[in-house]
Structures are given as C-alpha cells and as structure tokens.
C-alpha cells in the first residue's frame, strides 16, 4: 500500500543506520509532543535537543531545519494513521465493500481524536494559511486521502460515476479534517464529540451511497 512516506521530502534526509533510525525516531517523538502541546511557535530544534539531552548539531544532522522536522513529523503521523487502516483492511477479506467503508470510517474517527494526531494535524492546517511549506504538505496529505477514500467508495452506488465519486471523496476528506480542527478547538460548537462523530458517520455514508 502507498504510504505517506512516498511523498517527496522537501529536504532530503541522510541514509540512516539502525542506530540512526532510533535516534531519528526519538527526535520525531519529542517534536510531536512539543508541537501537539505548545504549537509551532513553541517548537524549536534547540528545544528538542535540550529535551533529549543531545546537541543541536545532532538534531540538525537528521533534520536540516525546523521545516524539514515538521515535514517528517507530519509524514510520521500520517504513516501511523494509514498503516492502521491497511492493517484493518487486511483482516476484512470476507466483508462487503460497505462494511469495509463503515469500519474504516470508525477507525478514522478514532485516529483523528488521539491528541498526538489531531494536535499535530490541527497545527499544520493552521500554519498552511501563512506558511507555504505547510500549505504544500497539507495539499499532499489531502490528495493522498482523496485517493484512498475514492477507492473505498467507488462502486458502492453503481449509478455514481467515477468523477462524482472523486468529488464526494473530496467532500469526505474536507469533513474529516474539519472535524480534526473542531476536536482541537477550545471553543466548540455546543455539540458533544459523540454528536459530531455520529453526524459525520451519517454524512460520510450519504456521500458514499446516495446518488
């Protein structure tokens, strides 16, 4: 299955040894915690280095600058997200296409409400309004997800053309990420998470099946 790692990086990273992979992962985990809790403004290469008790130059060896670090972090988060979907799909060999779609929707709703996921995603989306690199990353993520949702829904309603399914897949992706932003907001809409997720399920199902 295609993963988000196939997105061409903005800054090419060095080939890593096994030990280097472990260190790179430690850096990403630390950056993920900082970004999810303190936002982009609170994330710095030096701050990551200090938390790990390593030198700034060590962090820069793996991630050239803050943009490269954030890009790698987003790819890491989305890889976890997409791997979970692939693992679940592999256990549903006898399920109908509609059953698969419903189960994947449930998994997506679980994944996007995890603080380490929606905290990072919501921050990236906010950055995309003012930072070109974040806008580029966001569009790449959207494109991958549109393609994946299209594969899940195409054929559920035989009368629906491929072009219409692509449009509806795009609408589902927009709603998914709107929900990410909502779950990360302090203001809220007066609706509970359960109500929002229930409405999302109904909306996704209508988009996938109603001509």
What are the tens digits of pLDDT across the range 91-126? 888 889 999 999 999 988 888 887 777 778 888 888
Q: Are 116 and 77 in contact (CB under 8 A)?
A: yes
Could you tell me the CA-to-CA distances from 160 to 26, 101, 169, 179, 207 in Å, in that order? 46, 16, 12, 26, 11
CA–CA distance, 145 with 149 (Å, rounded to integer): 6
Could you tell me the CA-to-CA distances from 158 to 96, 102, 155, 207 in Å, in that order? 15, 18, 5, 13
Helix (H, G, I), strand (E, B) or coil at 113: coil
Confidence at residue 187, expressed as pLDDT on a 0 to 100 scale: 54
Tell me the mean pLDDT in the region 163-174: 96
CA–CA distance, 180 with 198 (Å, rounded to integer): 14
Q: Does residue 13 have a pLDDT over 60?
A: no
Tell me the mean pLDDT in the region 13-18: 66
CA–CA distance, 138 with 121 (Å, rounded to integer): 9
Model confidence over 21-60: pLDDT tens digits?
889 999 999 999 998 888 889 999 999 999 999 999 999 9
CATH 1.10.357.10 fits 4-209, yes or no: yes
Confidence at residue 8, expressed as pLDDT on a 0 to 100 scale: 37
Confidence at residue 185, expressed as pLDDT on a 0 to 100 scale: 56
Confidence at residue 15, expressed as pLDDT on a 0 to 100 scale: 63
CA–CA distance, 43 with 63 (Å, rounded to integer): 13
Indicate the helix (H) or strand (E) that contains 70: helix 66-89
CA–CA distance, 129 with 107 (Å, rounded to integer): 28
List of E strands, 4-140: none
| All structural domains of the chain with their residue ranges | 4-209
The b/e string for 88-118 (b: 16+ C-beta within 10 A; e otherwise) is ebeeeeeeeeeebbbbbbebbbebbbeeebb
Of 75-89, 97-111, 151-165, give the range with the top mean pLDDT: 151-165
């Amino acid at each position: 299955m295609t993963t988000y790692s196939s997105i061409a990086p903005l800054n090419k990273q060095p080939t890593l040894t096994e030990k280097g992979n472990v260190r790179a992962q430690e850096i990403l985990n630390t950056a993920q915690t900082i970004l999810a809790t303190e936002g982009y403004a609170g994330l710095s290469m030096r701050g990551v280095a200090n938390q790990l008790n390593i030198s700034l130059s060590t962090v820069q060896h793996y991630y050239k600058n803050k943009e490269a670090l954030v890009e790698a972090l987003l790819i890491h988060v989305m890889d976890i997200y997409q791997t979970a979907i692939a693992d679940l799909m592999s256990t549903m060999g006898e399920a109908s296409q509609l059953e698969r779609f419903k189960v994947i929707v449930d998994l997506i709703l679980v994944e996007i409400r995890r603080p380490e996921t929606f905290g990072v995603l919501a921050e990236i989306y906010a950055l995309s309004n003012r930072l070109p690199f974040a806008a580029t990353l966001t569009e790449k993520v959207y494109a991958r997800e549109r393609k994946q949702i299209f594969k899940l829904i195409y054929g559920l309603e035989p009368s629906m053309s491929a072009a219409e399914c692509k449009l509806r897949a795009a609408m589902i992706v927009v709603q998914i990420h709107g929900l990410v932003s909502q779950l990360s907001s302090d203001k809220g809409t007066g609706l509970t998470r359960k109500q929002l997720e229930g409405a999302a399920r109904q909306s996704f199902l209508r988009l996938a099946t109603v001509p």
